[in-house]
Structures are given as C-alpha cells and as structure tokens.
Amino acid sequence: MSTTISSRLGLAMMLVALLLAGCGVDGPRQITRTRTGAPMRQLDASTALRFGFTGAASPHGGGTPSTRPSPEQGIAELLRWTVPPGWESLPPKPFRVVNLLADGAECYVTYVAGGGAQGNINRWRGQMGADPLDPAAIDKLATSRILGRRAHLVDLEGTYRGMGGKARDGMRMRAIYVGFPAFALSIKMIGPRDVVEANRAKFDAFCVSLAFAQETAPAPTEGASSAGTGSLGWTAPDGWREERGSGMRHVTFRPSDTCECYILFLPEQGGGLLANVNRWRQQMGRGPLDRDGLAKLPTTTILGAKQPWLEVFSEAGQGILAIASPYAGQTLFVKMIGPAEELRAQRDAFLAFCGSLRSDR
C-alpha cells in the first residue's frame, strides 16, 4: 500500500483563504461565495503560520475533543510515504504522525516540539542505557537527507526502557532526528535486535519515501481568477458558519461547534485517490481498501462528474466524510470531521455542498 509521495517539507506552500463579506438577511440563509487562491507559506515560518495552528488543544488530551488540527494532525495531512511490503499500518496513537508495525518491531514518525537534536538524541540514548553525547559527538553521527533536511541517525542495541519504564532486553533502536526551524520529526524503529536488523533496509527505504505534498497557489487578486485554483464557487447549507481559511485550507465551515467541513487543494493527483482514502481510514483506525474496495464506494456528483466519497468512523466515535475531484490541474478535497453522530446528521448537507461546487471562471 502506498500513501504516496508528492514532494515537500521542502515543506509546503499553503493556502490562506480570504475573508468573505457576508450579507445579512432575516431568518435562515444560504451562503453563496466565490473564492480564489491564496499566498504561499514559507518553510522557515513558525508552525502556527505554516499549518494554521492556533494553539487549540490536541484531541489526544482529555475533555471534549477539539476539531481544530493539532500539530501532528496538520503535518499528517501533508505527509506522504510508502509502506514497505509486509509492514502493517496501525491505528493512530498520541503524537504519532505515522504508526506502523514491522514484523513485530514498531516503526513510527513523531512530531517533536522542542529539545533540539542534542536533547532528543540523548533522551533516546538514555532509553537504551547509553551515555549522553556532547554537541561535537552528535555532529559526528551518521547523517542523511530526509525530507530535504540533514538528518542524524542513532543506532543502538541493549535494554530498552520506554515511557512506561518496563525494561526489555535484546532490543535495537534505529532513530532519525530531522530538524526544521520551528519543530522536528523523529523516525524510529524499535524492536528485537534480529527483527530490526532484518527490516533495516525497509526502514531506510521508508525514511527515504517520506515527502510532503506541495501546494501551489499564487497570491490572489480581489475579484480576479487565480491561475492555481481558479475561482471556485459554492452554496453553503443553511446553518453552516463560514470561517477564514487557515493553513492549507481554502475555506472552512462549521456546521456545528464540534463539526467542521473544509476545502483544500493539492497539486496534480494529490497523491492518488486510493492512497488518500486509506490515509483517512488509517486516521480512524480502520484497515486499508484495495482497488476493488475503492470501486465499491458510493458516488456523488461534484464539479459536474461522479466521484466516490468516503464515510468512515472510529471506535472512539469520531468520523470523516471526504471526497476528491480534479480541478484546474490540481486535486480538490472536501473533508468533514467531527463526532460520528454529527456527521451522520450532516451527511445529506455535505453531499449537497459538494454538488454545489462550481467553477466561476
């Protein structure tokens, strides 16, 4: 299964949508608007600017889950990768952007908020019972190019003590630290020594396969069509509250306080429909579909053509409704996320919204 590669952290050039002026009328109303493209994000911008994060709590925390993206959710939305043959995609875990099983060894990509290369590498060494390294020694570690950045490799054997504190003998850790200006990613494989060794080449191939989807959109001109996305129009269902687009989102709507629907663009095929469907299913802890399964998905009309759409729910009661369609040389995605009960209630409105999309060029 390929969750595919479509260049970037060379990271992404993001879409920031324009605020739309609203016309007040009495009683319920429909919102009909046209939206053009948005300026590109800078690689060295802060995480908040790049992904549109506003400091909202991650849904991994306690209390009512937030539908606003956490950093790892925002990065996962952009990340593409190829799962090595024989490896299994696992349901998401807190802080893990990618979560895989490699013949009994864990392999995962983690969002790292701070600590730097020295702090994180020495933390990993401590988990394996190894002494810390000073900056000069860390500079001498093996390096490679991952996601367009210089990455440090740690390869250790011994007794592993993870966050739970339980000691496991005969373990091996291969871990890579990839630093960016405002955050970092770690890529790890941890498991029995012989299993990690047998999967070392696959791990290296997985690391090389990691890439970020690159969005291309020129800065918009008010009232003019954008060459990247054209002028996209829609009719929003009654009761949907429109918000400023953020990060990679072209526009965002809130059908309720716990449910949101948004449009985004990715270049060309956007990584492929099957890969995206299986990424969304993975986010909900569900297994992948093959092409026969993809062909059995229900269809609806969007931008004048029939396209398959996905409805998937997690055991925890969250869900995703999603559809993709070619548009102006790119791929347009419409995605709704929130509690399963809310999504079922909004299903018809979601499909009607998709059917209302049109090119106003």
Tens of pLDDT, residue by residue, the chain (361 residues): 444 333 333 333 332 222 223 333 333 344 444 444 333 333 333 444 344 443 333 333 333 444 455 666 677 777 888 889 999 988 777 778 899 999 999 999 998 877 788 999 999 999 999 999 998 898 888 888 888 888 999 999 999 987 766 889 999 999 999 988 778 899 999 999 999 999 999 999 999 888 876 533 333 322 222 334 457 899 999 999 998 665 567 888 999 988 999 998 877 777 788 888 988 888 888 889 999 999 999 999 999 999 999 999 998 889 999 999 998 888 899 999 999 999 999 999 999 999 999 986 5
CATH number at residue 173: 3.40.1000.10
Instruction: Choose one of 142, 175, 209: the last residue of a domain.
Output: 209
101 plus 181 within the same structural domain: yes
Distance, in Å, from the CA atom of 259 to the CA atom of 318, rounded to the nearest integer, reads 10
235 plus 348 within the same structural domain: yes
187 plus 284 within the same structural domain: no
237 plus 135 within the same structural domain: no
Specify the pLDDT at position 257.
Answer: 86
- Using the Cα atoms of residue 93, residue 95, residue 97 and residue 103 in order, give the sign of their dihedral: negative
Q: Looking at the domain assignment, is residue 18 inside a domain?
A: no
Specify the pLDDT at position 194.
Answer: 96
Distance, in Å, from the CA atom of 216 to the CA atom of 239, rounded to the nearest integer, reads 31
Distance, in Å, from the CA atom of 36 to the CA atom of 227, rounded to the nearest integer, reads 9
Specify the pLDDT at position 36.
Answer: 41
**Which residue range forms the structural domain that includes residue 167?**
82-209
Tell me if the pTM is above 0.75. no
Q: How many domains does the chain fold into?
A: 2
Distance, in Å, from the CA atom of 243 to the CA atom of 125, rounded to the nearest integer, reads 45
267 plus 145 within the same structural domain: no
Instruction: Dump pLDDT digits (tens) for 12-31.
Output: 333 222 222 333 333 334 44
Specify the pLDDT at position 96.
Answer: 85
Specify the pLDDT at position 165.
Answer: 66
Q: Looking at the domain assignment, is residue 25 inside a domain?
A: no
Distance, in Å, from the CA atom of 89 to the CA atom of 92, rounded to the nearest integer, reads 9
Q: Looking at the domain assignment, is residue 327 inside a domain?
A: yes
Q: Looking at the domain assignment, is residue 10 inside a domain?
A: no
Degrees, nearest 5: CA angle 59-109-317: 30
Instruction: Choose one of 156, 180, 209: the last residue of a domain.
Output: 209
111 plus 160 within the same structural domain: yes
Q: Looking at the domain assignment, is residue 3 inside a domain?
A: no
236 plus 349 within the same structural domain: yes
CATH number at residue 240: 3.40.1000
164 plus 195 within the same structural domain: yes
223 plus 116 within the same structural domain: no
164 plus 241 within the same structural domain: no
169 plus 219 within the same structural domain: no
Instruction: Choose one of 181, 209, 237: the last residue of a domain.
Output: 209
Q: Looking at the domain assignment, is residue 24 inside a domain?
A: no
Instruction: Dump pLDDT digits (tens) for 72-103.
Output: 667 777 788 888 999 998 877 777 889 999 99
**Cα-Cα-Cα-Cα dihedral of 205, 207, 208, 210, to 10°?**
120
Q: Looking at the domain assignment, is residue 19 inside a domain?
A: no
Length of the chain: 361
Q: Looking at the domain assignment, is residue 56 inside a domain?
A: yes
203 plus 221 within the same structural domain: no
